[in-house]
Amino acid sequence: MKDAKLIAKSHPAHQTSIDLGHEITVGGDELLIIGGPCTVESLTQMEQVATQLAGSVQALRGGVFKPRTSPYSFQGMGNAGLAILDDIRQRFRLPVVTEVMAIAQIKAIAAQADMLQVGSRNMQNFDLLKALGKTRQPVLLKRGLAATIEEFVMAAEYIVSHGNANVVLCERGIRSFDNYTRNVLDLGAVVALKQITHLPVIVDPSHAAGKRELVPNLAKAAIAAGADGLIIECHPEPEKSVSDARQALSLEEMVALVHSLRPIAEAVGRQIPGLRQPVLAIA
Ligand code: PEP
Ligand code: MN
């Protein structure tokens, strides 16, 4: 394995905690649970998501620049979607995570979201990684569709070596021979990454499973394996999601899942933050 210089763990207790704003951190004793739709579809949709999840999750997700397999599929709301995320994060005082696909999008996303996701398809887009390294914005780096652990680690090293230490790794499943699940969740990588690097490591069971009924137990397994958090797709009307409908939980299922994770978190010495102070649901 090539040596990571800056993100290598120097001793077992060496662990970075990253501030996402809104008094939320990742990498400490408290887990980071991120919930929300694959794609931002409307202000009403995001208000429903935020209102129902505000007491359960620590951050919201929603893509506005979407990397779709087909060029004929909906490509995301773009800047109009960013404005929705900005509105929601201010009113609900929760960090929001959204995907950045191009260097030209960084400035606008950094101004209107709290964490920039580099999707699987861009994990080795080295120019994008270098450009994100020149910001101080937290980056959620997802593992490539078929990336080795070494390639994943070195992609994170690209961002950190260009000046941005605020990187969170995300295991989201890798391609294998079996297509019953969309991808294969590699929990061995989570355990290994926690030993190799001092960066926080979170898990995306939604894109790993591709089927909603598999998500809760994979989420539990990820926390038991030592993950620092989860990013999970959920939607007010899962079947109507414009993308990734088959893997989306309902908001009620998401709230129930977070509740069911508490004893598992405690068993491995972690906590899930409790209900936050009341939020302004209406502007
Ligand atoms: C997503 O988070 O909606 C997404 C496209 O993820 P990934 O890059 O892991 O496929
Ligand atoms: Mn998705």
Could you give the 3-state DSSP secondary structure of residue 191? helix
Residue 282 pLDDT more than 90? no
Please provide the average confidence, as pLDDT, over all residues in the chain. 96
Domains and CATH numbers, the chain: 18-267 (3.20.20.70)
Q: What is the pLDDT averaged over residues 132-153? A: 98
Q: What is the pLDDT averaged over residues 198-205? A: 99
Alpha carbons 151 and 124: distance in angstroms, whole number = 8
Ligand 1 centre to CA of 283 (Å) is 30
pLDDT tens-digit readout, 13-64: 999 999 999 999 999 999 999 999 999 999 999 999 999 999 999 999 999 9
Question: Considering only CA atoms, which residue is closest to atom 1 of ligand 1?
Answer: 38
Nearest ligand, measured from the Cα of 231: 1
Alpha carbons 158 and 139: distance in angstroms, whole number = 12
Ligand 2 centre to CA of 245 (Å) is 9
Ligand 1 centre to CA of 173 (Å) is 10
Is any atom of ligand 1 closer than 6 Å to the C-beta of 115? no
Q: What backbone phi and psi angles, to 5 degrees, belong to 103?
A: -55, -40
In this prediction, residue 281 carries a pLDDT of: 54
